[in-house]
């Protein structure tokens, strides 16, 4: 059987579906109306240590927003089936299913993947049913959410089906605390104690600063360590991991991870460094370069991904996988996780959380005509209003029930989405 390669990494435990929750309740993909491209075909290679092996050819299909629906892989010599990666999205463009299939003995076999089905009540997600493939069967799990009077999620309870008790067992819990502005200050994770059937605190994360509230943290502590994130050019960032020394009463440097992105917002390198006490400097121990090649239309024509054996300090960087793209397709609306287009339309909302009037403000108080649409988490539009260039951009949300909503802002420059909280 041909070796199947993929750029997507999928957690095989049931907890993978919690990712879908955080994507929906804490983040909304910014969008751009500027055209962008996706490849219709690719030739896929992996390096065996000596030479490049042409493992498969892919044909890609997309939805109208340019999100990948299928990566269909065939053998380059025989044109026989090799593998399929199939994705499904909900009305908000959020990934709800991703399944990898392998062609074995003349039929498709599920290799790995997961699905999620959300249920809403009053504009808020009440529960999420998830399914993960363990290589033999689908395992079901459920997450139930508890909200406060302001519509903020304060607790998530995770359940698995237990054959011993013949029903659903609540095995983990997540508690979330906020400040008076609805910004997360603390998250605690609990596990079930099967001796007492009570709860054992597993981990506490305290948040002190955010780059984007409730989405991108700047400073937080967890398990005796401190994490500091600074933003770099083109969406890159640097993260410092420091450990607390109780004898000195201070934090000590341990690890630094640097994510480098190019002018198109694509990740071109990830460097991991350890702090060496004797030299007082960080030393590189792992590096994962990616080389993007563009044509004159800024289509990505080739992606070369390299790796380093991080178990050996100073080991050489080796070739990993390579994709050569062709037959480009063009779209006019893209989530911000597309391969080669990360344009975002920045804007501010205040007050947020709010009760009645909220103000929409563009960078540098720029005056521009725009349209605002407020939708609930099921994707239903609850409020729409257009503003002229010189008109004050204030939106009255007083009539909306308490809860979390998505506000979409559309101008001649593009489209972007932010979360708002109605108190």
pLDDT digits (tens, 9 = 90+) for 70-127: 999 999 999 999 999 999 998 778 899 999 999 999 999 999 999 999 998 877 889 9
The band of 420, judged by pLDDT with boundaries at 50, 70 and 90, is confident
Closest by CA position to 191, among listed 202, 205, 203: 202
Q: What is the mean pLDDT of the chain?
A: 85
DSSP letter assigned to residue 354: B
CA separation for the pair 188, 174 (Å, rounded): 6
- The model's pLDDT over 307-332, given as tens digits with 9 standing for 90+, comes to 987 666 667 899 999 999 999 999 87
Task: Assess whether the previous peptide bond of 353 is cis (omega < 30° from 0).
Answer: yes
CA distances from 71 to 138, 219, 387 (A): 22, 38, 41
Contact 221, 240 (CB under 8 A): no
Which of 213, 220, 227 has the alpha carbon at shortest distance from 187? 220
Whether residue 356 lies inside any domain: the answer is yes
Residue 124 has what pLDDT?
A: 83
Which tokens is 197 given?
């059937």
Q: Choose among 388, 385, 390, 389: nearest CA to 357.
A: 385
Q: Where are the beta strands (DSSP E) in 299-402?
A: 300-308, 317-331, 334-335, 348-350, 357-361, 370-375, 381-387, 394-396
What is this structure's pTM? Answer: 0.70
Report pLDDT for 336. Answer: 41
| 246 belongs to a structural domain | no
Say which residue, 70 or 419, is predicted with more confidence: 70
Q: Judge whether 367 lies within some domain.
A: yes
**Helix (H), strand (E), coil (C) string for 298-311:** CCEEEEEEEEECCC
Boundaries of domain holding 409: 348-422
As given in the structure block, the two tokens for residue 259 are 């994510």
In a domain, 166, yes or no: no
Q: Give me the residues paired with residue 249 across strands.
A: none
Count of structural domains, the chain: 1
pLDDT tier at 155 (50, 70, 90 boundaries)? very high
Please indicate, yes or no, if residue 79 is contained in any of the structural domains: no
Tokens representing 295 are 């044509």
Identify the three-state secondary structure at position 105.
coil
- Predicted pLDDT of residue 253: 96
Matching residue, tokens 């969008």: 31
Please indicate, yes or no, if residue 192 is contained in any of the structural domains. Answer: no
Any domain includes 386:
yes
Better-predicted residue by pLDDT, 265 or 342: 265
**Spatial distance between the Cα atoms of 221 and 142, rounded to a whole number of angstroms:** 29
CA atoms of 33 and 13, how far apart (whole Å): 36
As a whole number of angstroms, the distance between CA 39 and CA 59 comes to 8
Instruction: Give exposure, 397-418, as e/b (b: 16+ Cβ within 10 Å).
Output: beebebbbbbbbbbbebbbbbb
Residue 88 and residue 102 in contact, taking contact as beta carbons nearer than 8 Å: no
pLDDT for residue 34? 55
Task: Give the mean model confidence (pLDDT) for residues 351-379.
Answer: 81
- The span from the CA of 272 to the CA of 310, in Å, is 9
The answer to whether position 61 is within a domain reads: no
Domain with residue 408: its CATH number is: 2.60.40.10
């Amino acid at each position: 059987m041909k070796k199947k390669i993929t750029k997507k990494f999928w957690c095989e435990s049931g907890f993978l579906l919690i990712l879908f929750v955080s994507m929906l309740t804490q983040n909304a993909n910014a969008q751009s109306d500027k055209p962008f491209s996706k490849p219709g075909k690719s030739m896929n290679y992996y390096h065996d240590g000596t030479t490049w092996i042409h493992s498969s050819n892919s044909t890609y299909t997309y939805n109208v927003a340019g999100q990948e629906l299928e990566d269909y892989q065939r053998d380059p010599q025989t044109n026989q089936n090799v593998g399929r990666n199939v994705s499904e999205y909900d009305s908000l463009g959020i990934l709800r299913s991703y399944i990898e299939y392998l062609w074995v003995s003349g039929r498709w076999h599920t290799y790995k993947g997961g699905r999620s089905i959300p249920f809403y009540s009053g504009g808020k997600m009440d529960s999420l049913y998830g399914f993960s493939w363990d290589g033999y069967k689908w395992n079901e799990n459920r997450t139930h959410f508890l909200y406060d009077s302001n519509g903020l999620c304060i607790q998530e309870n995770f359940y698995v089906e237990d054959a011993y008790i013949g029903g659903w067992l609540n095995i983990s819990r997540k508690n979330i605390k906020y400040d008076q502005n609805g910004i997360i200050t603390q998250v605690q994770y609990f596990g079930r104690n099967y001796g007492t059937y009570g709860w054992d605190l597993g981990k506490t994360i305290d948040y002190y600063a955010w780059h984007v509230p409730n989405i991108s943290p700047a400073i937080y502590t967890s398990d005796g360590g401190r994490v500091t994130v600074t933003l770099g050019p083109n969406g890159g960032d640097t993260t410092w991991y420091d450990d607390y020394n109780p004898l000195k009463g201070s934090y000590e440097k341990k690890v630094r991870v640097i994510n480098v992105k190019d002018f198109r917002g694509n990740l071109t390198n990830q460097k991991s460094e350890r702090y060496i006490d004797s030299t007082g400097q960080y030393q590189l121990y792992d590096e994962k370069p990616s080389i993007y090649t563009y044509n004159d239309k800024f289509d990505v024509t080739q992606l070369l991904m390299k790796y380093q054996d991080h178990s050996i300090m100073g080991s050489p960087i080796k070739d990993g996988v390579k994709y050569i793209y062709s037959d480009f397709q063009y779209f006019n609306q893209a989530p911000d996780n597309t391969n080669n287009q990360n344009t975002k339309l920045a804007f501010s909302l205040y007050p947020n959380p709010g009760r009645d009037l909220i103000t929409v403000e563009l960078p540098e108080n720029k005056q521009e005509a725009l349209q605002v649409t407020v939708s609930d988490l099921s994707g239903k539009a609850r409020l729409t209003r257009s503003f002229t260039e010189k008109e004050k951009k204030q939106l009255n949300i007083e009539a909306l029930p308490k809860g979390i909503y998505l506000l979409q802002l559309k101008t001649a420059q593009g489209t972007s989405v932010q979360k708002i909280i109605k108190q």
